[in-house]
Amino acid sequence: MPEKKATVMIVDDQPTNIHALASLLKVDYRILTATSGERALVMARGESPPDLILLDIVMPGMDGYDTCRRLKDDEATRSIPVIFVTALDDVEDEEKGLNLGAADYISKPFSPAIVRARVRNQVTLKLKTDMLEKISLQDGLTEIPNRRKFDQKLAEEWGRARRDGQPLSLLMIDIDQFKPYNDHYGHGAGDECLKRVAQAMAQTLSRTSDLLARYGGEEFVALLPGTDETGCRHLAESLLEAVRSLQLPHGLSDVAPHVTVSIGGATHSARTPKTNPETLKKSADDALYLAKQAGRNRYHHESGYASPITD
Ligand SMILES: [Mg+2]
């Protein structure tokens, strides 16, 4: 079993049925219960969604088939495996459940050993899938989110910003003169530099809504939801300072005796007509170019704001 208990949600309109399954599974899993399909949907979309749902078919109101259909239609709950638990033992019912995307089927009266085995199989599979998903969205070297994760998050936050009328800021960040650093100190030291810079910046962006990702090579990107130009400027200055404070020696830099970054920022607000996430990225990239042109180790915003030089 994994160190942290996986969570199984049992959905059944009969509390005695819930009790029977819960008593079988509560040693190995954290148990959530719901006595209706409606309630199950709310809980599955909540803060701590289950890793598996055991779903009764015959329930008043929203039945198990309907509940399953809605779980599978919603991006947020689609990946949670569903096992139907039912007294219906007709082959057609089983087929219907599986066609709706259910992972498995348990008929009542059930054998405790078989319930445990089927639950264990699905939970193991789910945890593996989650782990692979996490790995596929993470940069292997710096252990911060990768470009794929960033692009997903940008699409989500762009939609949210448009709905809520909230500003959305984006920073493009480059380590200054990284190629000479790599050539001079070697790739091992270069990797270490990338990790240290990534960690220092990740610690600086402490709000859970902010996302720092490695965009490729020595390029990073930060997405700052709900952040206007002023907030964006403060965060960018903090990032510049966090990297300077590492005091990683850089003998070949003509910017400073230590490793520095250049940052370009752009802000989408309800007032600025920006057509899509790509234009926001392009604006931040253009601002980054200006920060480099002006001598690096500084921040430039698309609006024309440029940071004062501090070292
Ligand atoms: Mg029932």
Task: Using alpha carbons, select from 307, 287, 289 the residue that is nearest to residue 298.
Answer: 307
What are the counts of helices (DSSP H) followed by strands (DSSP E) for the chain?
A: 10, 10
Domains of the chain listed by start with CATH number? 7-136 (3.40.50.2300), 147-301 (3.30.70.270)
Q: How far is the CA of 126 from the centre of ligand 1 (A)?
A: 26
The per-residue pLDDT for 2 is 47
Q: Is 208 exposed, middle or buried (0-12, 13-18, 19+ CB in 10 A)?
A: exposed
Q: How far apart are the first and last CA of the chain?
A: 53
Angle at 232 between CA 230 and CA 234, to 5 degrees: 75
Q: How far is the CA of 186 from the centre of ligand 1 (A)?
A: 66
pTM over 0.95: no
Q: How far is the CA of 87 from the centre of ligand 1 (A)?
A: 9
Catalytic residue numbers? 218
Determine the Cα–Cα distance for residues 253 and 171; give it in Å rounded to an integer. Answer: 23
Q: How far is the CA of 231 from the centre of ligand 1 (A)?
A: 53
Mean pLDDT for each 10-residue chunk of the chain (311 residues)?
81 95 96 97 94 95 95 94 83 82 88 94 95 93 96 92 92 97 95 97 92 96 96 96 96 94 92 82 96 96 77 52
